[in-house]
Structures are given as structure tokens and as C-alpha cells.
């Protein structure tokens, strides 16, 4: 399960340098006239996050300061969403990270349904790169081609 930390900053402090846009795992999520948000995914297993639960926010802020400088030390708000703790989203099996990238693109999801009136289109339906942005692009190309034939 991917888990998200979102940090909300006042824009006047301009905490995020231009090179932040190329750092993998973090990107702008939302920009408003007076604030901006930055989000990233944890690369920690549910068990590791559980071990550091009480210090997770401090660890995030230390990393943000190392990556982007001292202006990142003062967010307006920090939100940590750990999906592995949500009983309607995750099971005990989800707490263990997979040992390899899951296989996506089940053949049934690649078919047209209801006589070309319904298509599944999303990263999970891609034959290659499922679960990634590239998979979403592949899936959208597949459905677009089918709809424009």
C-alpha cells in the first residue's frame, strides 16, 4: 500500500527550489495564491512506519530540510495518511511489501464490454508498466485506438 505525506506551506516563504520538480517521489500537488502543497510516498513498509509512528512527522521534516533547505522546517500543516491502517482499504496481507512488481493487465480487462460500449482504462489494465504513469498512458492509448477505429 502506498502511503502519503502532504505538507502545506505558505507561498511567501518560497520553500521549494526549482530543482524540486525533478526529485523523484515528490511533486507539487496544489498551488493557491497564498500557499502550496507538496506530497510524497513513503518507501517504508507498514511495519517500519508502525515502529516510527510517533516520530514520523519529525523524520519527514528532517528529510525535507535536507532536500530543500531550512524553509521547509515550518509547514502550515502536515498530513500523514497511512492506508495500511484503514480497515476498508487494506488487509493484513497489504502490510507486507511485495517482493516484485505486481502483474497487471488481466486479459479480461483488455476486452471491450457491452459491444464496444464499455472499456476499462487505467494503469491497472496496462499490459506493461501497470501501476505506473506509463501504464496509464498505455491503457489510454489502447482505449483511444479502439474508440477511433
Within 10 angstroms of residue 5's Cβ, the number of other Cβ atoms is 22
At 20, give phi and psi (nearest 5°): -60, -30
Same domain, 119 and 48: no
Query: What is the predicted pLDDT for the residue at 145?
Result: 92
Q: Is the pLDDT of residue 130 over 50?
A: yes
Is the Cα torsion angle 37, 61, 44, 81 positive or negative in sign? negative
Q: 32 or 122, which is more confident?
A: 122
Residues 59 and 130 grouped into a single domain: no
pTM: 0.57
pLDDT greater than 60 at residue 132: yes
- Please report which confidence band the pLDDT of residue 23 belongs to, taking 50, 70 and 90 as the band edges: very low
pLDDT for the residue 140: 94
Whichever domain contains 49, its CATH number is: 3.90.660.10
Same domain assignment for residues 78 and 117: no
Q: 132 and 85 in one domain?
A: no
Q: 134 or 74, which is more confident?
A: 134
More confident residue, 7 or 78: 78
5 strand-pairing partners: 40, 80
Shared-domain flag, residues 52 and 119: no
**Minimum mean pLDDT range among 44-48, 112-116, 122-126:** 112-116
Q: Domain check: are 51 and 13 in the same one?
A: yes
Quick one: pLDDT at residue 20? Answer: 43
Task: Mark whether 79 and 132 lie in a shared domain.
Answer: no
Beta carbons of 13 and 74 less than 8 angstroms apart: yes
Average pLDDT, stretch 4-11?
58
More confident residue, 102 or 26: 102
What are the φ and ψ backbone dihedral angles of 145, each rounded to 5 degrees?
A: -60, -45
| Domains contained in the chain, number | 2
* pLDDT per position as a tens digit, 44-94: 888 888 898 898 888 888 888 887 788 777 788 888 888 888 899 888 888
What pairing do the DSSP bridges indicate for beta strands 35-41 and 4-10?
antiparallel
101 is a domain residue: no
Nearest residue to 43 via CA among 92, 5, 100, 90: 5
Please list, in sequence order, all residues whose beta carbon lies within 8 angstroms of the beta carbon of residue 33, skipping any fewer than 6 positions away. Answer: 11
In a domain, 127, yes or no: yes
The SS3 call for residue 31 is: strand
Owning domain of residue 13: 4-95
88 and 136 part of one domain: no
Query: Does residue 86 share a domain with residue 22?
Result: yes
70 and 42 in a common domain: yes
Instruction: Answer yes or no: do 12 and 58 share one domain.
Output: yes
DSSP category for residue 71: G
User: Do 87 and 130 reside in the same domain of the chain?
Assistant: no
Amino acid at each position: 500500500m502506498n502511503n502519503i505525506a502532504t505538507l502545506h506551506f505558505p507561498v511567501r516563504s518560497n520553500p521549494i527550489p526549482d530543482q524540486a520538480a525533478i526529485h523523484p517521489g515528490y511533486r507539487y500537488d496544489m498551488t493557491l495564491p497564498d500557499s502550496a502543497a507538496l506530497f510524497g510516498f513513503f518507501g517504508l513498509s507498514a511495519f517500519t512506519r508502525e515502529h516510527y509512528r510517533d516520530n514520523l512527522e519529525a523524520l519527514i521534516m528532517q528529510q525535507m530540510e535536507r532536500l530543500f533547505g531550512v524553509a521547509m522546517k515550518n509547514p502550515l500543516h502536515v498530513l500523514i495518511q497511512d492506508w495500511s491502517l484503514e480497515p476498508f482499504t487494506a488487509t493484513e496481507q497489504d502490510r507486507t511489501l511485495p517482493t516484485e512488481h505486481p502483474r497487471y493487465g488481466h486479459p479480461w480487462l483488455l476486452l471491450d464490454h457491452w459491444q464496444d460500449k464499455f472499456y476499462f482504462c487505467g494503469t491497472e489494465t496496462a499490459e506493461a508498466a501497470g501501476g505506473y504513469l506509463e501504464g496509464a498512458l498505455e491503457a489510454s492509448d489502447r482505449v483511444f485506438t479502439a474508440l477511433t477505429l
